[in-house]
Amino acid sequence: MLRSLKFCLALLLIGAELWTLSVSLWRPHVSAIYRQFYITQQRSCWLPDAEAATVAAGLPQPVLDVAAFTPPQACYVLMRGWNHHEGWGVWTSKKLAGLDVPAAPGAQHLVLQMQPVPADRAQSLQISVADGPWQQLVLQPGRQSVTLAVTPARGDVVVQLRPGSIFQKFGVGLISLV
């Protein structure tokens, strides 16, 4: 009898440990930035939660000038797929680039000031807002604004860009966000 009770308690303990392990593996309770960097690998740089909150609160509004970003601001907004920013802005370096844009409460749209790279050639581009459908557009030579509809924001808006060029070395330049 005592042996059966010990066996049942051991099974119960093993079951509880397996349940705890499964919850921690499939539904970890971590911050959004931690999840994007370590779990889904949607970010190319790590920014601790406390610093991310400070950076998000300190971003200039309503216009975000990409060329003026500090390294923590660039890490927060330019999630992945971007080169180092220069005096005019930043350009895509991968086939998929992501932005994490803090939107004003109630925002209905987001405007990206963009240009093809190099600036004298047209460049096709696909954009997805908040995991929505991909929109196809063509950037003509020179700077231009691309307006994206967003649902009334409750926080950050995640934008994904896919430059579509037959030449791997060309991409899309981002100058500012409004």
Name all domains of the chain by residue range, CATH numbers in brackets.
61-177 (2.60.120.260)
Confidence of residue 14 (pLDDT cuts 50, 70, 90): very high
Please name the amino acid found at residue 49: D
State the pLDDT at residue 167.
47
Six-digit token string for 169 = 């070395």
- Report the predicted TM-score, pTM, of the whole model to 2 decimal places: 0.71
Of the candidates 19, 2, 68, 120, the residue with the CA atom closest to the CA atom of residue 77: 68
Query: 25 or 94: whose pLDDT is higher?
Result: 94
Per-residue pLDDT for 21 more than 80? Answer: no
**Residue 94 neighbours by CB under 8 Å, 6+ apart:** 80, 81
Per-residue pLDDT for 166 more than 70? Answer: no
Per-residue pLDDT for 101 more than 80? Answer: yes
Q: Would strands 171-177 and 90-91 be described as parallel, antiparallel, or unpaired?
A: antiparallel
Please name the amino acid found at residue 65: D
How close are the terminal C-alpha atoms of the chain, in Å?
Answer: 72
